[in-house]
Amino acid sequence: MRTRHLLIPVEGVPADLLRGSFYEMRGSSAHKATDILAPRNTPVRAVEDGTIAKLFFSRFGGNTIYQTDPTGQYVYYYAHLEKYQPTLKEGDRVKRGQTIGFVGTSGNAPPNTPHLHFSISVLTKQKKWWQARALDPYEVFKSDKAKSQ
């Protein structure tokens, strides 16, 4: 996964400001994501080229985006968004670096801690993103090859 050189999804956040929280417990389960803190309405960008698979509002994740990679092997999950980029819709093809949403506190995020909850998962043959195997995004981004700009 590191060889894919994913873009850090929150504009202006360098890799050295990220911290691992993949294994931290959230209630009775592991977090399985990285939280990237930033001011509310900071642009959230597509980590690589791909397709918007789902725009969804959930009780926990709030305004969320599921993006698949060009090969259909991976799914990227962006949650707690303040809002989506206004013209974004399911099925859209996006380019690496394209603004797809904005940092917020929707869902169960603390109201005074705007951040992006970001996860990476490997899809199964059934292509059900809610049943995919999670990978630690921090391990991907901490590589010195990850680019924040």
Q: Where are the domains of the chain?
A: 2-137
pLDDT of residue 135: 79
Q: How far apart are the first and last CA of the chain?
A: 19
Which has the minimum average pLDDT: 11-15, 18-22, 68-72, 112-116?
Answer: 18-22
Phi, psi of 92 (to 5 degrees): -65, 140
pLDDT band at 149 (very low <50, low <70, confident <90, very high): very low
Place of tokens 């799914």: 75
pLDDT of residue 143: 63
Q: Minimum mean pLDDT among 8-22, 93-107, 109-123, 131-145: which range?
A: 131-145
Average pLDDT, the chain: 86
Q: What's the pTM?
A: 0.89
Class of domain 2-137 (CATH, top level): mainly beta
* 105 confidence band (pLDDT: 50, 70, 90): very high
63 contact partners, CB below 8 Å, separation of at least 6: 55, 57, 79, 80, 81, 82, 83, 84, 101, 104, 106, 107
Torsions phi, psi for 22 (to 5 deg): -55, -40
